[in-house]
Amino acid sequence: MKRLVRIGLLSVVCLAIVPPGSRVSSVALAQEAHGEASGKDAKSEAARERLPPPAITEQSIDLGGRVIKFKASIGAMPFKDETSGEVLAEVVTTAFILTEDRPETGACRPVVFAFNGGPGAGSGWLDLGAIGPWRLPLTGAAMAPSAPPLVSDNRESWLDFADLVFIDPPGTGFSRIANSDAARKKFWSVEGDVETLASVVRRWLQQAKKLDCPKYLVGESYGGFRAPKVARALQEKENIGVDGLVMLSPVLDFGWIEGRDNPLDDAARLPSLAASHIEARDRSEVAAAEAYASGEYLADLLRGPRDAAAQERIAAKVAGFTGLTPERVRRLQGRLGLTDWVFEADPSGREIASLYDGATREPNATPGRRPQDWSDPVLDGLRAPLGSAVTERAVVKLKWPVEARYEILNDRVSESWNWGSRRRSLEAVTDLRRAEALDPRLKIVVAQGLYDLVAPYYANKLLLELEAPVGATDRLVFLALPGGHMFYGVDASRAALRDAARKMILNP
């Protein structure tokens, strides 16, 4: 199911910013970082559709009565073939840098590098949804293609305590990739993607003269899977240490969410189904679902469908937690898959639920029947307003006259991604633990939405709890918050995420 991986990842590219007090001019640094591709590169697709030169503007936002001023920089950086010099990609990045970059103490402000997932997702989700200076509503009436893409100052912006760099990988956002096997091989693979991200972070820090700044990586979904791998690549190949990782709705182990007939999958998903049913109005009920899922439920599942008594116990308990009838649970043998919840959550069949937020519904286009294909109420509902909002901001507010369409979700990237020999064997827990072991200063925040069915929070909670702590036990913070995959659309959850990040960054 391609919809399960479209929003999880995000690749990184280099952004040229001009920090105040830098030792080179704004124009020189922008030209150095983004590079001016020559006419000799015209044979590449990236060069044929040239993007505008970088733009740097002065901006400000109101954080609840307190105005902060900052520089915004947006532009493209070319990636060239080492042998031919051909431009393989132009990667667009956007940075927001506080005007008073270095206070009288001389301390350098922390830098946060943020990327989404997919593969194929642009950074607009995190930028305008969670941590950037401006915000687009992502809940309620905003989840409709015709919703006006109107942004407002984001009072929960992390710009209050860190400079922000949002990165769009080749084929996402406004970024370009050449129509060649060489380009796709370099950028659209697990290992190539990680190496590119690590290289870009290092080059950005050098060009911006911020190697002495605290550094943080923020990745959502597949981006959360990337983050520990990029941290290790920075440590071991680029001579860069990362101070912290923030992993939002991450995929830590593909085997846990794509395992075939694995009872652990069912146990990991059940608390999210229970939370989606009650919308976390009673957290004690969610805790009870967790205890049942990893105890009696798992034990009865292992007894198999031939044990009638076990099946009856499952039918009664699961029905109580999810709101489904015992008959429906019994018919599914107590094991509710993703699409089962999508179509079974409304007994009448008039509505379908979202994979990305199990508590959200939309009318079923074929009432009473299971459609062969359907649009996700959350993911597909937000594509148009979010993509339009990013484009409007780039052209009007940031003065970057781009004509290209913003790829908020590029299915071609995810469909062409090279996962290696076997995707189900991919995991990031090993990379996370190795990064922790190598650097005792590294801190981690893992934050998830309670209603997320794509990357169930309880799966990652169990994965992390099954591992012995590496170093100090308080260096990893796990948050399960109201909301779905993009839980930061909920005001209270976005604020809680901001508070956790601020605590980690300001208290190293």
pLDDT, residue 32, reads 35
pLDDT at 15 over 60: no
pLDDT (average), residues 162-174: 94
pLDDT, residue 277, reads 92
Continuous H helices in 174-325: 181-187, 190-207, 222-237, 254-258, 263-278, 283-292, 298-303, 308-322
pLDDT confidence bin for 174, thresholds 50/70/90: very high
Tokens of 135: 């915000």
pLDDT at 139 over 70: yes
pLDDT digits (tens, 9 = 90+) for 414-452: 999 999 877 778 999 999 999 999 999 999 999 999 999
pLDDT (average), residues 3-25: 31
CA distance 172 to 88: 14
pLDDT confidence bin for 260, thresholds 50/70/90: low
Positive or negative, the CA dihedral 87, 39, 42, 94 is: positive
pLDDT, residue 47, reads 42
Q: Which residue has the higher pLDDT, 391 or 181?
A: 391
pLDDT (average), residues 332-347: 88
pLDDT at 369 over 90: no
Neighbours of 37 (CB within 10 A): 21
pLDDT at 496 over 50: yes
The reported pTM is 0.87
The answer to whether 422 and 246 are in contact (CB under 8 A) is no
Q: Which residue has the higher pLDDT, 369 or 306?
A: 306
What average pLDDT does the chain have? 85
CA distance 271 to 11: 30
What would the DSSP string read from start to end of 447-471?
Answer: EEETT-SSS-HHHHHHHHHHSPP-S
pLDDT, residue 406, reads 94
pLDDT, residue 469, reads 79
pLDDT, residue 262, reads 83
Q: Which residue has the higher pLDDT, 165 or 31?
A: 165
Positive or negative, the CA dihedral 203, 206, 209, 212 is: positive
Share of the chain above pLDDT 90, in %: 61
Lowest mean pLDDT among 34-48, 140-154, 230-244, 341-355: 34-48
CA distance 407 to 387: 7
pLDDT at 386 over 50: yes
pLDDT, residue 330, reads 93
Domain ranges of the chain: 2-255+383-506, 260-363
The answer to whether 163 and 131 are in contact (CB under 8 A) is no
pLDDT at 367 over 90: no
Q: Which residue has the higher pLDDT, 282 or 30?
A: 282
CA angle 298, 302, 305 (to 5 degrees): 115
Neighbours of 100 (CB within 10 A): 13
pLDDT, residue 107, reads 74
pLDDT, residue 245, reads 98
Q: Which CATH number fits domain 2-255+383-506: 3.20.20.70, 3.40.630.30, 3.40.50.1820, 3.40.50.300?
A: 3.40.50.1820
pLDDT confidence bin for 136, thresholds 50/70/90: very high
pLDDT, residue 269, reads 94
pLDDT, residue 13, reads 29
The answer to whether 457 and 250 are in contact (CB under 8 A) is no
Q: Can you tell me which residue has the tokens 């132009």?
A: 90
Q: Which amino acid is at 323?
A: G
The answer to whether 25 and 374 are in contact (CB under 8 A) is no
pLDDT, residue 337, reads 84
The number of angstroms, rounded, from the C-alpha of 465 to the middle of its chain's C-alpha atoms is 22
Beta carbons within 8 Å of 166's beta carbon, 6+ residues apart: 15, 93, 94, 95, 114, 115, 123, 126, 127, 132
pLDDT at 40 over 50: no
pLDDT confidence bin for 168, thresholds 50/70/90: very high
Nearest to 432 by CA among 440, 422, 444, 424: 444
Q: Which amino acid is at 370?
A: R
CA distance 74 to 401: 11
pLDDT, residue 101, reads 54
Tokens of 235: 């440590």
pLDDT at 379 over 50: yes
pLDDT at 218 over 70: yes
pLDDT, residue 257, reads 72
pLDDT, residue 100, reads 67
CA distance 309 to 118: 42
Continuous H helices in 15-65: 26-34, 45-48
